[in-house]
Amino acid sequence: MRYLEYYELTQEPFSNAPVSRFYYNSAQHQQALTRLMYAVESMKGLALLVGRIGAGKTTLARRMLDSMPESEYEAALLVIVHSGITANWLLKRIASQLGVANPHSEKLALLSQLYHRLIQVYESGKKAVLLIDEAQMLQSRELMEEFRGLLNLEVPERKLITFVFFGLPDIEENLKLDPPLAQRVALRHYLDTFDRGATMAYVKHRLRLAGARRMLFDDGAIDLIALSTQGVPRLINTVCDNALLEGFLARKLVVDAALVERVVKNLRLDADGFSDEPGAGRQVISVPAIGVARPRRRVALSDIDAMLAGLK
């Protein structure tokens, strides 16, 4: 028997896999999405969402993609999983994501293709939007300059493309590599983590969607979960998943603070929500599964094979 059967759950409630069904529309995420949608509706050019590791930036990026009607937007999501990409690789991928067939290898020809594609989108009455997840991986001045150049593509009424960067706080320093680009940030929002009340609501939400008929964590357990994770959704998932396993092994019907304390100790979470083992707390880059409700939307991961072959 697994803890799913023991607690009468239909599926894992606290998986860190990006399952859109489990999206929790917290006040923090709702405010962030409202601001970012304003930026793309108004074609502001460049918007920035900053959050700590595990705060839910990727989840929010995918939610935002799904929130843009296909009748109004030519939208795509690009996930950067390597800091060594070149400017040429980036331009080709952007062009491909926005529908340019057979992007040219020569830069000027590629920019011409991209410009004409953006004009096509504009004349169709749509807005071109590219969401960039893990944007802190864009670590060179050359890359920042390319974004600035693309933001110069405009018509008298508006810009032809809007970028939304989702990244760790490091992205702020990366933008400073090209001060004129930093000045073009039209909207900047910092994604807050959950307080104790939001943590409780989040845990209840995930349990309900997983088929729970009752609350499986007592108030003391929630207090300790909120404190030890500092309200970071990814860490909440990890602690709750482990706590349910420990509860199952101890044959407890409700997870209490003592069980959560044991889990927190085993995970070696320190005050910053990271293990104190050597090297812990550093971001681990992984390739998440991708699920988009509308298959016509382009959601791309950086081409790892191409990068390993020379980032071509």
176 and 247 share a domain? no
pLDDT of the residue at 302: 46
Kindly state whether residues 134 and 185 are assigned to the same domain.
yes
Domain match, 136 and 85 both: yes
233 touches 255 (CB < 8 A): no
The pLDDT of residue 297: 52
- Per-residue pLDDT of the chain (312 residues), as tens digits, is 789 999 999 999 999 887 788 889 999 999 999 999 999 999 999 999 999 999 999 999 999 999 999 999 999 999 998 888 899 999 999 999 999 989 998 999 999 999 999 999 999 999 999 999 999 999 999 999 999 999 999 998 889 999 999 999 999 999 999 999 999 999 999 999 999 999 999 999 999 999 999 999 999 999 999 999 999 999 999 999 999 999 999 999 999 999 999 999 999 885 455 543 333 333 332 333 233 333 345 555 444 444 333 333
Structural domain includes residue 22: no
Q: For residue 242, what is the domain's CATH number?
A: 1.10.8
Instruction: Answer whether residue 233 is part of any domain.
Output: yes
Phi and psi for 155 in degrees, rounded to 5?
-115, 170
Q: Check residue 299 and give its pLDDT.
A: 52
pLDDT for res 226: 96
> Is residue 12 domain-shared with residue 55, that is, in the same domain?
no
Residue 69 lies in a domain: yes
